[in-house]
Amino acid sequence: MSEVMVICIVDDDSIYQYAMRKDLQSLEMEKELLFFNDGEEAMNFMTANLIDTKSLPDIIFLDINMPIMDGFQFMEHFVQLKPRLGKKITVYMVSSSIDPEDIKRAEAISEISDYLIKPVNLGELRELVIKLKQSGNS
Amino acid sequence: MTAKPNYKKYAYWLLLLTVVTMVASNFFITRFYLKTQEADARTINLAGRQRMLSQRIAKALYMNSLQKNGPSYELEKENVKDLMDQWKQSHLNLMGSTAEFSDNHQKLDSLFNDVDTHLMEVVNATNALAIDTNEESRKTLLQMVNHSEALFLNGMEQIVKEYQRLSEKKVKRTESVTFWLAFLALVILISEFLFILTPLFKKLEKDNRLLLENNRRLSDFAQIASHNFRAPVGNIKMLMHLYGRTEDETEKGILIEKVTQSTNRLSATMDALTDSLKVQSDHGQKLEQIKFNTVYQNVLPSFEQWIENEEAKITVDFSGLPSIRFSKIYLESIFTNMISNALKYKSPDRKLELHIKSYEKRGRKQLVFSDNGLGIDLKQHGRKIFGLNKVFHRHPDSKGVGLFMTRTQIETLGGKITVESEVNVGTTFIITF
């Protein structure tokens, strides 16, 4: 894992984006934050930087309900893209939906590490990032 | 509408009563006719026995005359006497059952009168034979017996024939009664089916559909409430967490501003849900015959500036179905939502063309809004398109309330809304009343 941790948030909720930015900025590590308003924006970025391991995210926090391309559509593209990616990317699905159908669908996708229900505990999110950082370093 | 439930309530009992009456009457009528036929058969048997007895008497007398004073003469005499008694008794029985055999028994009576005379002749002659010893007069008496017995048998033959005829007539009547009963039962059953059961089933089916619809709406509502409240509440929670951590006054100001935004969103969601609840429980909505064109002209002014800016073209054709029985407020709201949606999600590559049309096709009344806008990927969003706060385009005014309200208004009044769309070609909303 490179020195700089790239954290990516894909969510159309600007307030959520703001809170995440504020919180993650205070993490004491070398990091870069990426924000996208929907799946399509994020996917465009990924395809443009397929082998640019520096720019590609290490971890993605992905919302489900977004305009244009929602979280599940994004994952369909992501699964296809994965073999060509120059980096291992961890994906967490983050949604306020407690629809069992959504949760089942997310669980069926092996590329999704976990399903987090909003409101997320900011402390918990930090833990996830820190743990990933540590496992990458060791 | 008010008298119907009462009638439905009794319809069930009426049906039950009809079936029970039919089964019971069938049973009793069959039983009655079987009994009659049994009695008839008995009478005809009696007549047969009667003839047999008379022949036995004749035979016994004949034997008697052969034996004269032989050893068994006294015995045969007793035998003849016995047979005579039986014969007379049997004849009385037969006459007795004639009245119950048929109401119309004049012919039988006159036949019996004839037969009676001959019977009496036989009886008298036989009695005379018992005491007469003169050879010549005995011969004459025997001939008399023979002659009268032949007449008697002849008469009985006619009586049996008459019995047969009457009995057959009864069978025919039974057949026709049974036929008409079956016919009547069939008519009753068919009309029960047509006028009671079918409407009842239809009503049940409709109720069931309504229940399923309500269930789906409730489940949608729960999902919507959960999802749309969780998001802003979650945001507020996160913002307050950050607020507690920060010392910076400007930062705190921004956070409070964001909390206010989230609160506003929460309250907007709440308003939308309250509105939809109001629509759903608003059974008292006044239904009236409304002209589509009137509604269109009513809502158009609020879009005039927008239409002009976009150089949009809206065409209408209400000739196929000029008016509909619906709530005026809802219909205006539907037109407003549909027109503003079309304007909002027009394609940037071309000027908006929106065509509004109403018509009646195979008994179904429909209102159609079709545009050449951005379109929606229905494969991806089909399930969610009419949900609350579902937005499918990056548009600053997308709130995802319009279609949700439109659907609620239509479904509450028993209608249906469906969508056909192709990305970058356009969208067609079809409302079926």
Substitution target in B233, B236, B238 with the highest count of A β-carbons within 10 Å is B238
The whole-number average pLDDT for the span A42-61 is 88
Q: What is the β-pairing status of strands A112-117 and A90-95?
A: parallel
How far is the CA of B369 from the CAs of B123, B294, B305, B329, B339, in angstroms? 109, 16, 20, 18, 8
Phi, psi (5° rounding) for residue B51? -70, -40
Note the pLDDT tens digit of each residue in B179-202: 888 888 888 888 888 887 888 888
For chains A and B, CB pairs below 8 A equal: 70
β-bridge partners, B417: B431
Cα–Cα nearest to B323, from B363, B358, B362:
B358
How far is the CA of B171 from the CAs of B94, B107, B166, B167, in angstroms? 21, 20, 9, 6
Cα–Cα nearest to A8, from A54, A47, A42, A49:
A42
What is the pLDDT confidence band of residue B70, given thresholds at 50, 70 and 90? low
Q: Which stretches within B246-319 are classed as H helix?
A: 249-281, 292-299, 304-310
CA distance B240 to chain A (A): 10
Closest residue of B to A117, CA-based?
B230
Tell me which residue in A26, A96, A99 faces B234 most closely, judged by beta carbons.
A96
CB A96 within 8 A of CB B230: yes
The whole-number average pLDDT for the span B233-262 is 89
Tell me which residue in B226, B242, B381 faces A19 most closely, judged by beta carbons.
B242
Cα–Cα nearest to B369, from B349, B399, B327, B341:
B341
CA distance B392 to chain A (A): 4
Question: B115-128: string of b/e by CB count within 10 Å (b at 16+)?
Answer: beebbebbbebbee
Q: Report angle CA B83, B86, B92 to the nearest 5 degrees.
A: 140
The pLDDT value recorded for residue B5 is: 54
- Cβ contact, residue pair A16, B392, below 8 Å: no
- Domains of chain B, with CATH numbers? 4-200 (1.20.120), 284-433 (3.30.565.10)
Give the least confident one: A83-97, B24-38, B64-78, B111-125.
Answer: B64-78
Label residue B194 exposed, middle or buried (CB < 10 Å: 0-12, 13-18, 19+): exposed
Residue A61: pLDDT over 90: yes
Residue A36: pLDDT over 90: yes
The whole-number average pLDDT for the span B96-109 is 74
Give the least confident one: A25-29, B223-227, B303-307, B395-399.
Answer: B395-399
What is the pLDDT confidence band of residue A75, given thresholds at 50, 70 and 90? very high
Residues 6+ apart with CB under 8 A from B94: B43, B46, B47, B50
CB B118 within 8 A of CB B152: yes
What's the mean per-residue pLDDT of chain A? 85
Structure-block tokens of residue B296: 């269109």
Interface TM-score (ipTM) > 0.90 = no
The pLDDT value recorded for residue B1 is: 39
The pLDDT value recorded for residue B126 is: 79
Per residue, the 3-state secondary structure of A32-48, as one string, reads EEEEECCHHHHHHHHHH
β-bridge partners, A90: A59
Q: Provide the percentage of residues in chain B whose pLDDT is more than 90.
A: 8
Tell me which residue in A22, A37, A118 faces B242 most closely, judged by beta carbons.
A22
β-bridge partners, B356: B316, B369
- Cβ contact, residue pair B235, A15, below 8 Å: yes
CA distance A131 to chain B (A): 21
Note the pLDDT tens digit of each residue in A111-125: 888 888 887 887 888
The whole-number average pLDDT for the span A14-34 is 87
- Domains of chain A, with CATH numbers? 6-137 (3.40.50.2300)
Cα–Cα nearest to B330, from B278, B268, B365, B371:
B278
What is the pLDDT confidence band of residue A133, given thresholds at 50, 70 and 90? confident
The pLDDT value recorded for residue B73 is: 62
- What is the rounded CA–CA span in Å between residue A94 and residue A8? 12
Tell me which residue in A15, A68, A117 faces B258 most closely, judged by beta carbons.
A15
